[in-house]
Amino acid sequence: MRAAGLKRVVLTLGGIGLVFYVGMFLNRGYEPTDKELDSPRIIRIVSDMATNISNLFNILQAFEEKQKSMQKMLEEDRGRQRKAAEVEQPSIKKQPQQPEAQIQDQQKAPKEKKSNKLFPDSALFKTWGGNLSEDDQREAQGLYEMYGYNVFLSDRLPLDRALPDTRDKRCLKKSYPKDLPSLGVVLIYLNEALSVIKRALRSIIDRTPKNLLTEIILVDDNSSYDDLKGDLDAYVKMIEQQNPSLRFIRVRHSEQRGLAYARVSGWRAATADVVAILDAHIEVHELWAEPLLTQIKGDRTVVTSPVFDKVSFDDLKVDEYLPAAHAFDWALWCMYEGFSDDYYKLGDGSLPGKSPSVMGILVADRKYLGEIGVLDEGMKVYGGENVELGIRVWTCGGSIEVVPCSKIAHIERAHKPYMPDLSQAMRRNALRVAEIWMDEYKHNVALAWNVPFENHGIDIGDISERKKLRETLKCKPFKWYLENVYPKLDPLDNLLAYGGLKNLDADMCLDRGPVPGQTPIAYVCHYYAPQVTYYRSNGELYISSIKSHRYNDNQCLTDVGKKDTEPGLYNCKEAVQKGAMGIHWDFTQGKEMRNRETKRCLEIQNGKLLIQECSGQRWEIQHIIKPF
């Protein structure tokens, strides 16, 4: 359309020129003299006019090309703005009042068709993506299923986006030594989103002092996605050229080896004084490195961890997490926990706090980490390696600190695509840790996973080298760790028996009963979780679960003290406070279950579980830990 318009302009100008010259002839009158009929002169005039028109055409054509280029740039810019608007809804601005006629015209205009919500049950779209087109919804959901977080949004966010400063205000006033040790950063990934890895790299390079950061090691645990090959290679080459003093190292596994092995691969490739082993789905905050390096400079045997702010898997917004210790239960699942009472008495949340374990992201003196065995490469896939490190560091002479003035934003996946069910790998790794490090307390891990104490049949791999390492390092017993490092973990050392509790006369089992609810029942024996009981030497009897920590309350089988009544299931401390409830039971294997306070027995009559006068009904529990 623009080309046709341009031609029309040129033809019009040419026509005007011809009319002008003809008009000159006519105004002077037509007298056929020899001079006026001089053909060469007329030809020259026409030729000059044609040349001028041609030059004008060329000028207009060049102008047209510039217009096209500018238009293309504007359209691309508008396209980016539209995409950004689709991802991030703009705030609604109050519009100025309009004339009534214009309002009526707008009301008559057809309404914009709203996209259907294609994935109403998807966690991704619970609070995000309400304005996406159907095509974009499909793309976003597909990427979410592949990665466990919102890659559709990640691909549209700046690689150098700003992060909110969530540090304690006292951190802003701190200064750090100039002569800190050099730092190498290890990033571990397996089929991570390319834009997420790029953003991690960008944040590390931009927010770590150049005189401290000497190397970045990328460890690929055998990713299968194509963009983590050529595209990532090209990006790394580009930033390597931009940062000639920074060393980039690539480590690629020919098969998937698991998290612990990948982290050790990165440690082996490192040469800096201190190594930071990070996940690839992170962004570091400003001044993240200096507080950690300062602690390590003061004590090379301290293993440090930053505080992780949560990056939500759906909208990728950063939520502040307060500093906390990194803890675990007897199944070795990670959890956050408060620091010790002594820490809070100091009244300064910017100070480092001692921690029983580490979540997985760690920063340590490279040589010291090697001296104590880095990580257990016999761990499979995921889980348990962080707890193993925590126990080893503490019992073998070191310590672990969480440093509040160091912050890292960490994406919390909705699911781990490489293994949707982590429980099998986690159980295997937990039993391995228990066998190497936990001495007589190893049975608590088996208890947590509801497997036999002996001959559980789960292959935990060769542990001879790790046991030898424990002897070489002259590490303290696990009992010392429980008493001095992690006293909040209940040692369960007064547990006498566990498993299904069967009434031999009624041939039925004690069962947790409906949930929610506080009334246990008699039920056909199946020995799954609702029927697993725990009997302690103080007479407390729990049904379905036992808590790992002293600060948590278990649910006790209770005689509520009424005549011929059903038993109850109440928090033990609550039952004691109420006074009238009996939570302690005298029991001998194969004999009656008698309440110590009320002297009544737990029995089954016509399939119903009751508390009544003792008639001699016999009970038997599955597994005996200690004779009683």
- Answer for the pair 406, 291: CB distance below 8 angstroms, yes or no: yes
Residue 258 CB-half CA count within 13 A: 17
The vertex-213 CA angle with 275 and 210, nearest 5°, equals 165
Q: Quick one: 23 exposed, middle or buried, by C-beta within 10 A (0-12, 13-18, 19+)?
A: exposed
- Answer for the pair 428, 332: CB distance below 8 angstroms, yes or no: no
The whole-number average pLDDT for the span 100-109 is 38
Single-letter residue type at 521: I
Distance separating alpha carbons of residues 2 and 229, to the nearest angstrom: 44
Task: Delimit the domains of the chain by residue range.
Answer: 2-81, 169-411, 495-624
- Answer for the pair 466, 373: CB distance below 8 angstroms, yes or no: yes
Closest to 447 in 3D by CA, of 555, 332, 304: 332
Tokens of 491: 């040692």
pLDDT tens, position by position, 195-233: 999 999 999 999 999 999 999 999 999 999 999 999 999
pLDDT value at residue 114? 58
pLDDT value at residue 115? 66
| Residue 516: cis peptide before it, omega within 30 degrees of 0 | yes
pLDDT tens, position by position, 255-298: 999 999 999 999 999 999 999 999 999 999 999 999 999 999 99
What is the pLDDT confidence band of residue 138, given thresholds at 50, 70 and 90? Answer: very high
* Top-tier CATH class for 169-411: alpha beta
Shared fold status for 169-411 and 495-624: no
The whole-number average pLDDT for the span 52-64 is 45
- Answer for the pair 305, 360: CB distance below 8 angstroms, yes or no: no
**Max avg pLDDT among 37-41, 49-53, 293-297:** 293-297
Report the topology of domain 495-624. Answer: Trefoil (Acidic Fibroblast Growth Factor, subunit A) (2.80.10)
Compute φ and ψ for 336, nearest 5 degrees: -95, 150
